[in-house]
């Protein structure tokens, strides 16, 4: 079978009432697409026995692959297992010895006694194939609905589900012929979606048939442009999309594209810092440590990140970063002058090659006519030379902090590119 389409189902009242965010569906969809399996639908179902069966009856008519997460825990509201037994017409249960051994080993390692409730998680409908869960107590289950439909039930705990998913994909590949789905993603920053769309009208109309373009805006990462193909030779399609990206780069001004893969700004900045051999420190006011947080989230950050400080009050800007009191008195904390002195003070404090600073007004209060909410000054000090930029955003407090952080990372990215380009130019002379 070549036209394989999947539906991802999440089960749990906690998702429907907004108590938790469903990250499982996004992860599963991403991995299935990489494997050439098209995800055509996502459904969230509450902890209701009849609703689960009703939805699965409908979904199984339309999709070859159904992947369910959630509802496999030991409590009374975890009813997925019983619903699947009813849905598949199974009245018998069996204890999976492999999963029972794992459960006993997990509790022994924790120094805890295994209760009957824990052991019951190894009991599964007799008509399913079990994928043992080495990370937890609830195994994954595979059901053959008919000759053309597979149903998978996975635990809802993200790290358990993620560990089991490769086995799920292997089983799908053994039973179906996935399509040659190809994606190429270009990441842009600093240009509104409508403006970008207008700029790319001619380029978009010239895309070969079979290539689909999607605009994916995100306040933290800018706008991603995703090219996709769903049929044909994979290598030929990838080469064709690479050619399209080359023509795209001729349309957009330098600096707008920050990555030619599905990426984020902090990853790009981290790679630039690694390749430049420079060290960085961060002085933050309005971003409250967010820049440092995303930088240290990358493996190997200790090679280039030396430290950061949040100087939220004027007093700490003065006492720790040596911002001149007269600077704040004459220009205010949200100013070019203050941002510049913060960056230079931070660079000297940590002894780094480069330092970046932020000072702004995230809101909702604190704004004035001359310095409205959403204002930010960003400065970068490179071995004593300081550059600044000013921006204005129009979100709420949380959104403004996200945008401030991204704007600072993008400013740092551009400065690092200039430094690297200058080094290469000097080396050629």
Q: How many whole angstroms separate alpha carbon 141 and alpha carbon 81?
A: 9
Count other C-beta atoms under 10 Å from residue 376's C-beta: 27
**Contacts of residue 362, Cβ cutoff 8 Å, sequence gap at least 6:** 286, 373, 374, 397, 400, 401, 404
Q: How many whole angstroms separate alpha carbon 284 and alpha carbon 286?
A: 6
Q: What is the DSSP string of 87-128?
A: HTT---EEE-HHHHHHHHHHHHHHT-PPPHHHHGGGEEETTS
What does the domain layout of the chain look like in residue ranges? 5-175, 182-259, 265-428
Model confidence, pTM: 0.79
Q: Kindly give the confidence (pLDDT) of every residue in the chain, 429 residues in length, as a single tens digit, with 9 standing for 90 and above.
A: 457 899 999 999 999 999 999 999 999 999 998 888 999 999 999 999 999 999 999 999 999 999 999 999 988 888 999 999 999 999 999 999 999 999 999 999 999 999 999 999 999 999 999 999 999 999 999 999 988 899 999 999 999 999 999 999 999 999 988 778 899 999 999 999 999 999 999 999 999 999 999 999 998 889 999 999 988 898 999 999 999 999 999 999 889 999 999 899 999 999 999 999 999 999 999 999 999 999 999 999 999 999 999 999 999 999 999 999 999 999 999 999 999 999 999 999 999 999 999 999 999 999 999 999 999 999 999 988 999 999 999 999 999 999 999 999 999 999 999 999 887 645 554
Q: How many whole angstroms separate alpha carbon 357 and alpha carbon 309?
A: 10
Record the tokens describing residue 30, joined without a space.
Answer: 């991403």
- Classify domain 5-175 by CATH architecture: 3-Layer(aba) Sandwich (3.40)
Phi, psi at 148, each rounded to 5°? -125, 10
Tell whether the torsion through CA atoms of 224, 230, 231 and 233 is positive or negative. positive
- 105-112: long-range contacts, CB 8 A cutoff, minimum separation 24: 106/136, 106/137
Task: Report the 3 state secondary structure along 249-294.
Answer: HHHCCCCCEEECCCCCHHHHHHHHHHHHCCCEEEEECCCCCHHHHH
Q: What is the DSSP string of 287-314?
A: TTTHHHHHHHTSTTGGGTEEEEEE--SH
Count other C-beta atoms under 10 Å from residue 41's C-beta: 13
Q: Residue 361's beta-bridge partner residues?
A: none
**Contacts of residue 90, Cβ cutoff 8 Å, sequence gap at least 6:** 125, 126, 127, 128
C-beta of residue 394 within 8 angstroms of C-beta of residue 362:
no
Q: Which pLDDT belongs to residue 256? A: 96
Closest CA to 242 of 177, 183, 187: 183
Record the tokens describing residue 199, joined without a space.
Answer: 């700029």
Q: What angle do CA 394, 376, 340 make, to 5 degrees?
A: 170
Tell whether the torsion through CA atoms of 62, 17, 125 and 132 is positive or negative. positive
Q: Which CATH number is associated with domain 265-428?
A: 3.90.950.20
Q: Are strands 280-284 and 305-310 parallel, antiparallel or unpaired?
A: parallel
Look at the domain 182-259 and name its fold. Answer: Alpha-Beta Plaits (3.30.70)
For 87-231, strand residue ranges (E) read: 93-95, 123-125, 129-131, 140-146, 149-154, 182-188, 212-218, 222-229
**Contacts of residue 41, Cβ cutoff 8 Å, sequence gap at least 6:** 7, 8, 59, 62, 63
């Amino acid at each position: 079978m070549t036209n394989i389409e999947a539906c991802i189902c999440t089960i749990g009242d906690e998702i429907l009432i907004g108590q938790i965010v469903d990250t499982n569906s996004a992860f599963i969809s991403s991995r299935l697409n990489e494997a050439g399996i098209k995800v055509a639908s996502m459904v969230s179902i509450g902890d209701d026995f009849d609703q689960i069966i009703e939805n699965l009856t409908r979904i199984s008519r339309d999709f070859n692959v159904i992947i369910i997460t959630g509802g496999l825990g030991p409590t009374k509201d975890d009813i997925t297992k019983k619903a699947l037994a009813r849905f598949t017409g199974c009245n018998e249960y069996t204890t999976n010895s492999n999963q029972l051994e794992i459960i006993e080993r997990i509790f022994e390692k924790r120094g805890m006694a295994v209760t009957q409730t824990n052991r019951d998680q190894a009991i599964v409908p007799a008509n399913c194939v079990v994928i043992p869960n080495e990370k937890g107590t609830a195994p994954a289950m595979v059901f053959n609905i008919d000759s053309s439909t597979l149903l998978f039930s996975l635990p809802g705990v993200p790290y358990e589900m993620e560990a089991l998913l490769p086995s799920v994909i292997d089983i799908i590949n053994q039973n179906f012929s996935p399509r040659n789905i190809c994606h190429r993603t270009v990441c842009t920053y600093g240009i509104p979606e409508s403006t970008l769309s207008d700029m790319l009208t001619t380029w978009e109309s010239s895309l070969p048939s079979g290539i689909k373009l999607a605009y994916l805006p995100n306040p933290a990462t800018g706008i991603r442009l995703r090219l996709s193909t769903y049929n044909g030779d994979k290598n030929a399609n990838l080469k064709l999309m690479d050619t399209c990206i080359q023509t795209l780069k001729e349309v957009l001004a330098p600096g707008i594209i920050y990555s030619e893969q599905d990426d984020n700004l902090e990853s790009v900045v981290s790679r630039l810092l690694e390749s430049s051999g420079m060290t960085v420190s961060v002085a933050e006011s309005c971003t409250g440590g967010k820049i440092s947080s995303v930088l240290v989230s990358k493996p190997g950050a200790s090679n280039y990140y030396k430290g950061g400080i949040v100087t939220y009050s004027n007093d700490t800007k003065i006492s720790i970063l040596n911002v001149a009191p007269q600077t704040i008195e004459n220009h205010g904390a949200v100013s070019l002058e203050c941002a510049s002195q913060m960056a230079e003070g931070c660079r000297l404090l940590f002894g780094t090659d480069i330092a970046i600073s932020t000072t702004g007004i995230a809101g909702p209060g604190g704004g004035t006519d001359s310095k409205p909410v959403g204002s930010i000054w960003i400065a970068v000090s490179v071995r004593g030379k300081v550059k600044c930029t000013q921006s204005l955003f129009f979100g709420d407090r949380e959104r403004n902090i996200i945008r401030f952080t991204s704007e600072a990372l993008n400013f740092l990215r551009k400065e690092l590119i200039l430094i690297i380009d200058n080094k290469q130019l000097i080396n050629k002379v």
